[in-house]
Amino acid sequence: MTVGGVAVLVPLLLVPGAPLRLLAQAAEPRTDGSRGVREWVALAGAAVRPLARWTTGAVVGVLAAWVFVFTPVLRWIVTDAAGREAGIALLLATGLVLVSAVLNARPGRRSAVTAALPALAWAACGVVLVAGSGLLLADWYGAMGWSTPAIDDQRAGGAVLLGTAAVPLAVLAIVQLVRPRDRGASPTRPVDEDRYRAMLDRALTRRGR
């Protein structure tokens, strides 16, 4: 299943790269009262920042595992073209909320629990798919006419789900639990951000000469 990759692996690579933060720091601020790239990024960041709390991340992560596998949402994603596009976007959004909540929290039990609860939820989904005898969307997958039984493909998908969602989140939870705390740094502000800003200011100064 690509569900795990979109919901976990992609956000795990995207969030630490902080593309919006880099864009906001690289863009020149407007001085005429209008809104440019930097101002819009700041506005969007302020709007979604409340979603990056550890409680919100844990709840979103657990609900995503259940909603996208065991509710009618799965049929919409599988059988409808618009549903597939919307499903990818929603999975990516839920993953970004979850990973942001984990990485923005200080290392310790709280951030570890934020990652561990969705890991358990995805693991439960994967185990059900691997060990279960019932075929999800039997009327759809059963009519595919594949050379191998559809239930075998579902079990393989469950194993992939375990490897791409549950295992990475479990590893992230362990890392956050054993990672030493930096009490002098803000969880949402890297310690080298001032150095990066100074580098950008020097580059802009050289370009303006």
Tens digit of each residue's pLDDT, the chain (209 residues): 567 678 888 999 988 888 888 887 788 888 887 888 888 888 877 777 777 788 899 999 999 999 998 899 999 998 999 999 999 999 999 999 999 999 888 888 889 999 999 999 999 999 999 998 888 888 888 777 777 888 898 899 899 999 999 999 999 999 998 887 655 444 445 445 667 667 777 777 776 65
User: pTM here?
Assistant: 0.77
- Rounded to whole angstroms, the Cα distance separating 30 from 141 reads 54
- Rounded to whole angstroms, the Cα distance separating 161 from 61 reads 14
DSSP state string for 9-40: IHHHHHHHH-HHHHHHHHSPPPSSS---HHHH
Residue recorded with tokens 């740094």 = 185
Q: Largest alpha-carbon pair distance within the chain?
A: 70
